[in-house]
Amino acid sequence: MEALSHTITPKLTPTPVKNDVLRRNGFTPAILRSNGCYSTRICRRSRVFAKIHRSKGLDFNDPDWNLKFQRDFEDRFDLPHITDIFKDATPIPSTFCLRMRTPVNEEFADGYPSDEKWHGYINNKDRVLLKVINYSSPNSAGAECIDPDCTWVEQWVHRAGPREEIYFRPEEVKAAIVTCGGLCPGLNDVIRHIVITLEIYGVKNIVGIPFGYRGFCSKDLSGMPLSRKVVQNIHLSGGSLLGVSRGGPGVSEIVDSMEERGINMLFVLGGNGTHAGANAIHNECRKRRMKVAVVGVPKTIDNDILLMDKTFGFDTAVEEAQRAINSAYIEAHSAYHGIGVVKLMGRSSGFIAMHAALASGQIDICLIPEVPFSLHGPHGVLRHLKYLIDTKGSAVICVAEGAGQNLIEKTNATDASGNIVLGDVGVHIQQETKKYFKKLGVPADVKYIDPTYMIRACRANASDGILCTVLGQNAVHGAFAGFSGITVGICNTHYAYFPIPEVISYPRAVDPNSRMWHRCLTSTGQPDFV
Ligand SMILES: Nc1ncnc2c1ncn2[C@@H]1O[C@H](COP(=O)(O)OP(=O)(O)O)[C@@H](O)[C@H]1O
Ligand SMILES: O=P(O)(O)OC[C@H]1O[C@](O)(COP(=O)(O)O)[C@@H](O)[C@@H]1O
Ligand SMILES: [Mg+2]
């Protein structure tokens, strides 16, 4: 790989590239730091593309570099399949049928009938285009470039859906579903559709693992038998029928428990951490030569999973956040010198705050983890608040929970999953605002709203409900097709399967240089706070 890297074309050398552009191009904060790109938030493009040369083993002077890139991409996005280990596993015709009749006739006593004429199957070679914009210059807003000239290179990922041939006999399947991490609107919708689709394939043995990965190994917790009857109405309420948890047993213990219970299909609903666990479970099953399909459905209200248009629950969260913002606005607007502070979720990414601010049109200041800010000083948030009080009489701030952590004392505490416990930036802003106005001798009525758990506990809205339905169904199709160590997502409005490591290599973040963030700034009218 290293041998392929040569010198870069001279015309690139002097141009700086912003760090957020690099992140968008797949450079993790660690890679950026190792290239000296951390403190200045700016990099020499020469250095960056040299890094691309090395990391991708590409030489852009080679006329075939893009073919090589494409081949490498195909390899990375190739889906692990049970035939990788069980070479002689033979498929059977799918038992999934889209045209059904009521199974009253004894002809159908064994389950759902199959219609010979039309099944609506996906061809295994179907692909979805991952990137749909052909950027003509690296300077074009949002440009994601592979080479210095931003050459168009097609990047295809595998289309999700039912295949004509399946690798599991439904009567031999014991399927398990587990939901991990924090709550997220839509979990019940996904569970429901996994169960319904499994039954349509003819699976009769379905179990829910209670309280996340913990439920695999805790003696006090027994599995919950699932059927269409059990899940019929669960989408009408928020939360998870199965319960969730953080932390829990190690991978080896989980796989021991799967072996003991005879589980050969595992559906894992969770975020980055859960997916890291799912991938480790998949690898452990391979190591033990177990014929198991492990399929993930990304669950993160924070929307911080790579490569997908969005994750389920995000739309609902943004919609629900409007209520909190509207209340804060009314409180602030009705008070003399009223200031509302609303904290929204987003441990490391500000998608909910940005979208909620944009949707509401009632926010004057939006603060997210990706964009540093100071509270004090001539360009600080407090000075701007004073300006807003002077000119408008009231103001509303929307802050993502992971924003401004550098301004709060660190505790170094972590939760059971190892996630850092954040300081409460909302409380901090409220206190600092009160102190600031008191010192100025200007009255200010500061109200703080933290709707976090009210938002997370909501049932999914209509658009998330549909997304959950499609994701749940596709997870089952993926497992029956024999894939394992994969996850499913929406990509340019189509549905695709991804190898798990590709979507969790780092959390997806708002690009401060993106048009969406600039739209948000246009809406709030806020200045830079640094
Ligand atoms: N790197 C990892 N490898 C294996 N399991 C993990 C890993 N990170 C987290 N987990 C497990 O995944 C579950 C959920 O993780 P958590 O970070 O709380 O939520 P999320 O999946 O939403 O990111 C926990 O039970 C945790 O123990
Ligand atoms: O209070 P909890 O359960 O630890 O959850 C808080 C976390 O949940 C989230 O909403 C989502 O986190 P996960 O995706 O890890 O579940 C984060 O934004 C937030 O930090
Ligand atoms: Mg997480």
Least confident of 13-27, 171-185, 266-280, 340-354: 13-27
- How many C-beta atoms lie closer than 10 Å to residue 131's C-beta? 16
| Ligand 1 pocket, residue 272 CB under 6 Å | yes
Q: Identify the pLDDT of residue 154.
A: 92
At 38, the pLDDT band (50, 70, 90 cuts) reads very low
Decide if pLDDT at 47 tops 60.
no
| Ligand 1 atom closest to residue 415's alpha carbon, by position in its atom list | 18
Marked catalytic residue, from 20, 147, 302, 315: 302
Q: Identify the pLDDT of residue 117.
A: 59
Decide if pLDDT at 128 tops 60.
yes
Catalytic status, residue 115: no
Q: Identify the pLDDT of residue 201.
A: 96
| Ligand 2 atom closest to residue 182's alpha carbon, by position in its atom list | 16
Considering only CA atoms, give the Rg of the chain. Answer: 25
| Ligand 2 pocket, residue 348 CB under 6 Å | no
pTM above threshold 0.95: no
Decide if pLDDT at 1 tops 60.
no
Give the burial string for 214-241 (b: 16+ CB within 10 Å, else e): bbbebeeeebbebeeebbeebbeebbbb
Classify residue 46 by burial, with Cβ atoms within 10 Å: 0-12, 13-18, 19+.
buried
At 219, the pLDDT band (50, 70, 90 cuts) reads confident
39 CA → ligand 3 middle, Å: 26
Decide if pLDDT at 348 tops 90.
yes
- Considering every ligand atom shown, identify the ligand nearest to the alpha carbon of residue 273 and give its number: 1
| Ligand 1 pocket, residue 270 CB under 6 Å | yes
At 116, the pLDDT band (50, 70, 90 cuts) reads low
3-state secondary structure of 108: helix
Backbone angles phi, psi at 294, to 5 degrees: -110, 115
Q: Identify the pLDDT of residue 13.
A: 27
| Ligand 2 pocket, residue 212 CB under 6 Å | no
Decide if pLDDT at 495 tops 90.
yes
- Average pLDDT of the chain is 89
Q: Identify the pLDDT of residue 44.
A: 44
| Ligand 2 atom closest to residue 419's alpha carbon, by position in its atom list | 15
Query: The tokens of 51 are what?
Result: 């890094």
Q: Identify the pLDDT of residue 162.
A: 96
Q: Identify the pLDDT of residue 118.
A: 62
| Ligand 1 pocket, residue 276 CB under 6 Å | yes
- How many C-beta atoms lie closer than 10 Å to residue 43's C-beta? 23
Ligand 1: which residue has its CA nearest to atom 1? 276
Write the pLDDT tens digit of every residue in 57-113: 678 888 889 899 999 999 999 999 999 999 999 999 999 976 665 555 555 455 545
Ligand 2: which residue has its CA nearest to atom 15? 181
Mean pLDDT of the 461-476 span = 98
Ligand 1: which residue has its CA nearest to atom 4? 277
Ligand 2: which residue has its CA nearest to atom 8? 182
Q: Identify the pLDDT of residue 526.
A: 97
| Ligand 1 pocket, residue 215 CB under 6 Å | no
- What is the C-alpha separation between 245 and 308, in angstroms, rounded? 25
